[in-house]
């Protein structure tokens, strides 16, 4: 077992993309002065912040943007491709203001645009998108949303409304006719024959939720011509799903889209000049080489896209289109790291100290267990282990039948646990290793909410890389499952024998132990739920240069009052009720009421995560 021989690197070389390194046993950001994440976390905690922390690294957004543009730029050069490459960021992947500010700043040199899928997202784009950068609008639209599109156009935005159905086109053309206002550009989402793949695959295929069929496409061209607006049709769009494992469906979709593009041009769409590939490029989340997520590189995608479009256009004798992408996950996932403190190790009490053998009168099987524990070694490990598991079964039955007492049962549990651990430590090749690891797994209680911070784990079983921030020079010996602090039994990251997580045995009275969850920058914040009313964690932006790191835009997690306000409680009334009840209470002496109230109000102004760490 790998975990036996080497200090664990938690698959960093697989999912890490060189963004982090391990130095002196700590995870460090692999940039500039290479600060340890633990130092950043400790600095923020010095100011009194507790609970989970979401750290954003702007240089990692920049890195992804550069990668995307460089890949397409290289392919365009190689194939002498005439069209431009242009990326826009789909807001649904992360609309949080601190992230958006980073994206817009880091995307400046490329004129990186935004994609909006709802009115609220469109407003964000209209307010913050750089004026030299495009906005694309997908999703179903009513008149009001279309009207927003016209206003954006009048504000000077380069905006393309992608229609999802003919009704939307009718509404747009009607509005233009009525108002005489300048038309936004029109994009058309095409319904592909090609089905998407993966858990998100419903975005593609003939029964997809979105897009126009061939017949509708022809009708759209007719309509646009009839209204004298065919020159406004500039883009066709498709999106085949997220986290594509394989590039084949994208290539099939491109062949379809490329030919549709060429046909529409021939039908008189004179200004049709862009194909928008949507998103879908995968992120490597896997911590183990056997279960890697994606089988392609970004350069391969760019080469395929450019080459395919080039050859279709040559064949059909049309100009090469601009290539738009709406990659979300690929751009945003790596920038955010969630750090959460471990609050408790639940089975830590199974130590020799917990053993409480009777002076005399231990049941014979308990005494035997104790002998097995003392004498188990590498040679006899398998045999002794099996004997002890047998004894344990018998002893538990004896307890159920009333023959042994609770103290005996406790000794049984502790001894069995100790024997399993000793067997695992001494014999590397036990056949039932996995099952045993599962059996003695430690439950780590972690100060975060899975529903708020990693909803895709709960909803889709999406795993995120997990590792401790320090002690990485020591072999982690405990098979771990993680519990969040919600009262929901689903709030658990279970131990998986196929992809085991091992953590360290730490005495939380002596040291803090922090876990980091990586690649949480895409979708998780946007989808995060307020289960049990846990709110978005405290967040901070961390800039890194050769001298060190700088923390900016620190935003504390919402206070209890803000959380209640957010779900429409009248917070003045909440405070009034609390005050009334304290003033009426017969259990609180009159002279103390003011203090109790002050203490209560203090709590109301703080966030809902737990503060208990035994260390200050
Ligand atoms: C969700 C979405 C995207 C982003 O997809 P990723 O897999 O995150 O790259 C892009 N375009 C459209 C239309 C979408 O709905």
pLDDT tens digits along 376-412: 998 999 899 999 999 999 999 999 999 999 999 999 9
CATH number of the domain at 425, please: 1.20.58.930
CATH number of the domain at 115, please: 3.20.20.10
Short-list 224, 220, 164, 223, CA closest to 190:
164
Q: Are both 199 and 81 inside the same structural domain?
A: yes
Exposure of 221 in the CB half-sphere (CA atoms within 13 A): 20
- Alpha carbon distances (Å) from 403 to 157, 396, 397: 81, 10, 9
Cα 82 to ligand 1 centroid, rounded to whole Å: 25
Short-list 324, 331, 242, CA closest to 17:
331
Q: Are both 174 and 228 inside the same structural domain?
A: yes
Closest residue CA from atom 15 of ligand 1: 239
C-alpha 427/C-alpha 440 separation (Å) is 16
Best probe residue, ligand 1, of 89, 93, 113 (max atoms within 8 Å of C-beta): 93
Measured from the CA of 523, which atom of ligand 1 is nearest? 8
Closest residue CA from atom 5 of ligand 1: 279
Q: Are both 287 and 428 inside the same structural domain?
A: no
Among residues 395, 416, 438, the one where a domain terminates is 438
- Asked whether the beta carbons of 74 and 27 are under 8 A apart, the reply is no
* Two tokens, residue 222: 């007719």
* Two tokens, residue 506: 């730490």
> Strands 158-163 and 134-137, how do they pair?
parallel
* Residues of the chain falling short of pLDDT 70: 1-6, 194-209, 348, 613-616
pLDDT per position as a tens digit, 51-97:
999 999 999 999 999 999 999 999 999 999 999 999 999 999 999 99
* Two tokens, residue 226: 């009839």
- Alpha carbon distances (Å) from 456 to 257, 311, 453, 462, 588: 31, 39, 9, 5, 46
The position carrying tokens 């002890």 is 388
> Would 29 be classed as within a structural domain?
no
Short-list 49, 71, 67, CA closest to 59:
67
Q: Are both 261 and 163 inside the same structural domain?
A: yes
Q: Are both 182 and 250 inside the same structural domain?
A: yes
Measured from the CA of 242, which atom of ligand 1 is nearest? 7
Q: Are both 164 and 87 inside the same structural domain?
A: yes
Ligand 1 neighbours (beta carbon < 6 A)? 90, 92-93, 115, 138, 239, 242, 278-281, 326-330
> Residues 609, 94, 523, 442: is their CA dihedral positive or negative?
negative
DSSP structure class, residue 549: E
Torsion-angle region of 88 (φ positive above 0: left; ψ -120 to 50: alpha; else: beta) = beta
CATH number of the domain at 574, please: 1.10.287
Cβ atoms < 10 Å from Cβ of 295: 12
> Residues 336, 341, 347, 352: is their CA dihedral positive or negative?
positive
404 contacts: CB under 8 Å, gap ≥ 6: 363, 366, 395, 398
Short-list 12, 29, 56, 2, CA closest to 466:
12
Q: Which residues pair with 87 in a beta bridge?
A: 325
Measured from the CA of 189, which atom of ligand 1 is nearest? 13
> Would 363 be classed as within a structural domain?
yes
Measured from the CA of 279, which atom of ligand 1 is nearest? 9
Q: Give me the helix-helix angle, 298-316 and 248-266, nearest 10°.
A: 30
- Asked whether the beta carbons of 195 and 204 are under 8 A apart, the reply is yes
Q: Are both 184 and 153 inside the same structural domain?
A: yes
> Would 518 be classed as within a structural domain?
no
C-alpha 53/C-alpha 45 separation (Å) is 9
211: exposed, middle or buried (C-beta count within 10 Å: 0-12, 13-18, 19+)?
A: buried
Q: Are both 90 and 211 inside the same structural domain?
A: yes
Q: Are both 224 and 112 inside the same structural domain?
A: yes
Phi/psi at 242 (nearest 5 deg)?
Answer: -105, 160
Among residues 270, 304, 332, the one where a domain terminates is 332
> Would 256 be classed as within a structural domain?
yes
> Would 209 be classed as within a structural domain?
yes
Q: Where are the beta strands (DSSP E) in 382-464?
A: 442-446
Q: Which residues pair with 543 in a beta bridge?
A: 550
Q: Are both 296 and 368 inside the same structural domain?
A: no
Q: Are both 262 and 369 inside the same structural domain?
A: no
Cα 203 to ligand 1 centroid, rounded to whole Å: 9
Cβ atoms < 10 Å from Cβ of 179: 10
- Asked whether the beta carbons of 52 and 537 are under 8 A apart, the reply is yes
Among residues 438, 464, 481, the one where a domain terminates is 438
Residues in the chain: 616
Q: Are both 274 and 201 inside the same structural domain?
A: yes
Domain count of the chain?
A: 3
Q: Whole-model pTM?
A: 0.92
Closest residue CA from atom 3 of ligand 1: 279
Structural domain that includes position 378: 352-438
- Asked whether the beta carbons of 150 and 184 are under 8 A apart, the reply is yes
Q: Where are the beta strands (DSSP E) in 413-495?
A: 442-446, 466-468, 478-483, 492-493
C-alpha 432/C-alpha 425 separation (Å) is 13
Exposure of 600 in the CB half-sphere (CA atoms within 13 A): 16
Short-list 260, 238, 261, CA closest to 319:
261
Cα 305 to ligand 1 centroid, rounded to whole Å: 17
> Would 512 be classed as within a structural domain?
no
C-alpha 42/C-alpha 246 separation (Å) is 41
461 alpha-carbon distance from chain centroid:
11
> Would 529 be classed as within a structural domain?
no
Measured from the CA of 281, which atom of ligand 1 is nearest? 9
* Two tokens, residue 236: 């066709």
Cα 283 to ligand 1 centroid, rounded to whole Å: 13
> Would 476 be classed as within a structural domain?
no
- Asked whether the beta carbons of 266 and 225 are under 8 A apart, the reply is no
């Amino acid at each position: 077992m790998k975990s036996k021989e080497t200090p664990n690197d938690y698959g960093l070389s697989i999912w890490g993309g060189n963004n982090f390194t391990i130095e002196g046993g700590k995870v460090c950001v692999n940039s500039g002065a290479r600060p340890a994440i633990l130092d950043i976390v400790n600095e923020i905690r010095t100011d009194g912040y507790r609970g989970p922390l979401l750290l954003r690294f702007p240089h990692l957004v920049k890195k992804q943007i550069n990668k995307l543009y460089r890949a397409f730029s290289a392919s365009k050069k190689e194939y002498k491709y005439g069209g431009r490459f242009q990326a826009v960021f789909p807001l649904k992947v992360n609309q949080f203001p601190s992230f958006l500010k980073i994206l817009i700043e880091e995307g400046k040199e490329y004129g990186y645009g935004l994609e909006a899928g709802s009115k609220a997202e469109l407003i964000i784009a209209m307010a913050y998108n750089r004026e030299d950068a495009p906005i694309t609008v997908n999703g179903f639209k009513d008149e009001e949303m279309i009207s927003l599109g016209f206003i954006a156009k009048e504000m000077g935005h380069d905006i393309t409304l992608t229609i999802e159905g003919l009704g939307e086109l009718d509404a747009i053309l009607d509005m233009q006719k009525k108002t005489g206002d300048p038309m936004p550009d029109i994009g058309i989402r095409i319904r592909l024959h090609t089905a998407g793949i993966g858990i998100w695959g419903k975005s593609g295929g003939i029964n997809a939720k979105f897009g126009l069929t061939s017949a509708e496409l022809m009708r759209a061209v007719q309509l646009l011509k009839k209204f004298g607006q065919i020159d406004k049709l500039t883009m066709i769009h498709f999106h085949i799903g997220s986290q594509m494992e394989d590039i084949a469906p994208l290539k099939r979709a491109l062949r379809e889209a490329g030919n549709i593009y060429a046909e529409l041009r021939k039908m008189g769409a004179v200004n049709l000049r862009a194909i928008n590939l949507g998103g879908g490029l995968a992120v490597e989340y896997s911590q183990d080489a056997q279960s890697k997520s994606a089988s392609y590189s970004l350069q391969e995608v760019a080469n395929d896209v450019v080459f395919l479009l080039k050859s279709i256009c040559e064949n059909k004798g049309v100009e090469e289109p601009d290539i738009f992408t709406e990659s979300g996950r690929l751009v945003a996932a790596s920038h955010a790291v969630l750090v959460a403190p471990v609050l408790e190790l639940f089975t830590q009490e199974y130590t020799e100290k917990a053993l409480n053998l009777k002076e005399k009168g231990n049941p014979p099987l308990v005494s035997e267990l104790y002998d097995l524990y003392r004498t188990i070694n590498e040679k006899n490990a398998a045999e002794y282990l099996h004997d002890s598991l047998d004894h344990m079964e018998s002893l538990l039955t004896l307890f159920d039948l009333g023959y042994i007492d609770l103290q005996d049962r406790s000794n049984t549990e502790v001894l069995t646990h100790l024997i399993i651990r000793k067997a695992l430590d001494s014999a590397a090749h036990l056949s039932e290793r996995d099952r045993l690891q599962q059996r003695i797994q430690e439950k780590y209680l972690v100060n975060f909410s899975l529903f708020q911070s990693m909803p895709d784990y709960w909803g889709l079983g999406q795993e995120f890389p997990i590792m401790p921030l320090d002690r990485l020079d020591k072999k982690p010996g405990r098979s771990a499952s993680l519990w969040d602090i919600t009262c929901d039994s689903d709030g658990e990251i279970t131990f998986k024998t196929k992809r085991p997580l091992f953590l360290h045995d730490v005495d939380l009275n002596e040291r803090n132990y922090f876990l980091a969850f990586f690649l949480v920058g895409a979708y998780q914040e946007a989808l995060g739920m307020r289960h049990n009313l846990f709110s978005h964690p405290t967040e901070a932006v961390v800039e890194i240069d050769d001298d060190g790191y700088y923390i900016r835009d620190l935003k504390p997690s919402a206070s209890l009052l803000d959380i209640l306000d957010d779900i429409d409680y009248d917070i003045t009334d909440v405070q009034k009720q609390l005050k009334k009840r304290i003033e009426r209470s017969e259990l609180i002496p009159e002279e103390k009421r003011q203090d109790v109230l002050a203490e209560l109000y203090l709590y109301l102004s703080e966030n809902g995560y737990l503060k208990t760490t035994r260390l200050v």
